Amino acid sequence: MAGKEKDPGFGKVFTPHMLVQHYRNGAWQRSRIVRFGPFTLSPATVVFHYAQEIFEGFKAYRQPDGCVCMFRPDRNLARLNASATRLCMPPVDTKAVRADICRLIKRDRNHIPAPPQTLYVRPCMIATDTVIKVHPSPTYTFFVILSVVGDYFGGEDPRGVRLCTETEYVRAAPGGTGAAKCGGNYAASLAAQHHASRGGFDQVVWLDARERKYVEEMGGMNIMFVLDDTVVTPPLEGGSILPGVTRDSLLQLLRAGRRKVEERCIPVAELVAANKAGRLKEVFACGTAAVVTPIREIMHGKQVLYRNRRDKPGELTMRLRQQLVDIQFGRAPDPFGWRYPVPL
Ligand SMILES: Cc1ncc(COP(=O)(O)O)c(C=O)c1O
């Protein structure tokens, strides 16, 4: 599929090959690139029953000179291993996997789209033992698939997405798996998401599990608030938020630009009051899929937590997005060494 053809959407169009590697007898076996296609698995396979599964997601970007760079793959592979540790799964050799992913991209190089489309890299590890018993599986399959994805920005409204806080369900509790990228977290989020969309919202904002008092993150993105002249975002220390690579990149860009940044617990009540006082200037979400997503409204029950009264996204939201996307697509220098060239 050539890049300029019609919008592929997200996660629907796959390239012809995938990487597969099995783990048995305490070691990863040789990785193989094979045709993209189904696995045959016993109905008793552990992953079907006990959700011992983790995954990752990052992108490769076509550069102006025609070469291709992945964006911070090492961060994602380190996070994959952190998730593996949390779910009692074997870590991968990150350097070897990075090289394997390069080989896979090279193999499917005719499917790397032109900007603004990108190639989404989806590594995934599943438990493959076939015993119906809660236990860490002695065998695993690691695989990587590639998807041609479109450019996402702001949803249907240019001002961004509408959100509501979730005051009943929680995404992750202290000591839980919130900081790991495991499928179970996403399965547990579906009921809240379903309710929110029935109420006309695009997504929910998760609150802390103990008190439902502090903002945590969104279903697939971290969240940032521009409070007066400071960008504020929830901290990672509690272990219930996914440490987003986009979040980290934006914080680095903001700090390099001498913008005031705070990573701290943010009470919903503080935001409601700041919004009333006109101090909450912008709110945006960040994650690999959409990079930066403007937020136009957040409701907390019947209270307005934030509303964008302009007819366009905030200035800082737009500027940050442009800055990061320009680095990713190789249109701007890469002072932090985030681009990783894929030998084609
Ligand atoms: C729950 C959750 N939070 C945050 C993020 C953003 O992380 P990243 O910027 O690494 O894509 C994601 C996406 O991976 C996510 O699924």
pLDDT category at 217 given cuts 50, 70, 90 is very high
Task: Write down the domain spans for the chain.
Answer: 13-149, 161-326
pLDDT category at 2 given cuts 50, 70, 90 is very low
Round to whole Å and give the CA distance between 37 and 16: 9
Residue 265 scores a pLDDT above 80: yes
Task: Show the tokens assigned to 56.
Answer: 């990752």
**Contact predicate 91/54, CB 8 Å:** no
Beta bridge partners, 81, equal none
For residue 182, the 8-state DSSP code is: B
Omega of the bond leading into 243 within 30 degrees of 0 (cis): no
Quote the ligand 1 centre to 57 CA distance (angstroms).
Answer: 8
Quote the ligand 1 centre to 218 CA distance (angstroms).
Answer: 9
Q: How far is CA 286 from the centre of its chain?
A: 8
Q: Tell me, which fold does domain 161-326 have in CATH?
A: D-amino Acid Aminotransferase; Chain A, domain 2 (3.20.10)
Q: Among 305, 295, 298, 301, which Cα is nearest to 167's?
A: 301
Q: Is 288 in the pocket of ligand 1 (CB under 6 A)?
A: yes
Give the pLDDT confidence of 40-66 residue by residue, as tens digits: 999 999 999 999 999 999 999 999 999
Q: Is 245 in the pocket of ligand 1 (CB under 6 A)?
A: yes
Range with lowest mean pLDDT among 1-15, 143-157, 161-175, 277-291: 1-15
Per-residue confidence (pLDDT) for residue 6, from 0 to 100: 81
Residue 294 scores a pLDDT above 50: yes
For the question of whether the overall pTM of this predicted structure is more than 0.95, the answer is yes
% residues pLDDT > 70 (the chain): 98
Residue 3 scores a pLDDT above 60: no
Residue 155 scores a pLDDT above 70: no
Round to whole Å and give the CA distance between 59 and 96: 18
Q: Is 215 in the pocket of ligand 1 (CB under 6 A)?
A: no
Q: Among 299, 170, 276, 292, which Cα is nearest to 231's?
A: 292
Q: Among 7, 107, 94, which Cα is nearest to 60's?
A: 107
Quote the ligand 1 centre to 25 CA distance (angstroms).
Answer: 33
| Nearest-atom index, ligand 1, CA of 242 | 3
Give the pLDDT confidence of 106-143 residue by residue, as tens digits: 999 999 999 999 999 999 999 999 999 999 999 999 99
% residues pLDDT > 90 (the chain): 94
The pLDDT of 292-319, averaged and rounded, is 95
The pLDDT of 196-210, averaged and rounded, is 97
pLDDT category at 338 given cuts 50, 70, 90 is very high
Quote the ligand 1 centre to 260 CA distance (angstroms).
Answer: 23
Per-residue confidence (pLDDT) for residue 5, from 0 to 100: 62
Identity of the amino acid at 104: L
Residue 178 scores a pLDDT above 50: yes
**Contact predicate 86/123, CB 8 Å:** no
Per-residue confidence (pLDDT) for residue 1, from 0 to 100: 42
The 3-state DSSP class for residue 268 equals: helix
Rounded to a whole number of angstroms, the CA Rg of the chain reads 20
Per-residue confidence (pLDDT) for residue 154, from 0 to 100: 56
Conformational region of residue 34, where left means phi above 0, alpha means psi within -120 to 50, and beta covers everything else: beta
Q: How far is CA 296 from the centre of its chain?
A: 20
Quote the ligand 1 centre to 131 CA distance (angstroms).
Answer: 32
Q: Is 242 in the pocket of ligand 1 (CB under 6 A)?
A: yes
Q: Tell me, which fold does domain 13-149 have in CATH?
A: D-amino Acid Aminotransferase; Chain A, domain 1 (3.30.470)
**Contact predicate 250/292, CB 8 Å:** yes
| pLDDT mean across residues, the chain | 96
- Tokens 């249109």 identify what position? 331
Residue 233 scores a pLDDT above 60: yes
Task: Show the tokens assigned to 34.
Answer: 């094979």
User: In this structure, which residue's CA is closest to atom 15 in ligand 1?
Assistant: 220
Residue 301 scores a pLDDT above 60: yes
Round to whole Å and give the CA distance between 285 and 247: 9
User: In this structure, which residue's CA is closest to atom 2 in ligand 1?
Assistant: 220
